[in-house]
Amino acid sequence: MGMFSGKKGLITGVFNKQSIAWAIAERILQEGGECGFSYMPDKPDDERKKNLNRVQKLTEGIAGVKFLQPVDATNDDDIAAVMEKCRSEFGQIDFLLHSIAFAPPEDLRGATIATSRAGFKLAMEISAYSLMALSNAAQSVLADGASVLTLTYFGGEKCVPGYNVMGVCKAALDSIVKYLAFDLGPRGIRVNALSAGPLQTISGRGAGVDDMLTLYEGMAPLGRNITHEEAGNCGVFLLSDMSGGVTGEIMHVDAGYNAMGSPGRLLDRFRS
């Protein structure tokens, strides 16, 4: 019997094998859980259906994978449809993983102060509001005592140059976690966020992850960067019954980087 035997849930936002969402989902499946996956819809003119194919290649032949469904996070009909799919496939779900974020590249690369109005609205809608939209639509399918988890980053708590408008979105996301934890608490449904250190992911590369990896290795108390496996393990913990009693929290898995108030041992490199 695995930790997730008899548990069913929805995983959103898996893009490829480097996705933190996949690191979490893979462990859930290994532990006996059943998962439905939503993914970013392919463009109508994309005959190769690249987004679908990526997720299919990851999940093909794995026991416990029950469906793949495209979901546009800005479309309430798509969100309602995937919840109805969960209902028809599972009846109720025990966990929901939110791993959805986007900002127009031209706004993400530019100074935060220069973010366009349209870019800000889109980034906030997809990266923050989508957690509210998904959780609200899922209320009738979430079992009492279920767990909701989103993925955030330290750039929502402190200014991380290069993270720019996405940091503003993550700050909103972090706040949403706390308010949803209150709203859903009477049913025993927990809402938490996982704040992972930098990893080689699609999102990470867009935010200049290579420089951040060097910084974290030098500053973090453990003197190293984290692994996808470590992020996955913490995500599994927060989605499992083992974290009962934990809600409204932001769990940092960053080798302790967030605890530092100075460059720490990184200063040794500059001492003669």
Distance, CA of 52 to CA of 65 (rounded, Å): 14
Point out the catalytic residue in the list 129, 153, 216, 257: 153
| Strands 65-70 and 190-196, sheet pairing | unpaired
DSSP 83-99: HHHHHHHHSSEEEEEE-
Integer-rounded Cα radius of gyration of the chain: 18
DSSP 152-212: E-GGGTS--TTTTHHHHHHHHHHHHHHHHHHHHGGGT-EEEEEEE---SSHHHHHTTHHHH
Dig out the tokens for 198 from the structure: 């930098």
129 in active site? no
Q: By three-state DSSP, how is residue 248 classified?
A: coil
Point out the catalytic residue in the list 39, 163, 216, 257: 163
Distance, CA of 102 to CA of 126 (rounded, Å): 6
Distance, CA of 15 to CA of 102 (rounded, Å): 12
Distance, CA of 52 to CA of 50 (rounded, Å): 6
Residues involved in catalysis:
153, 163
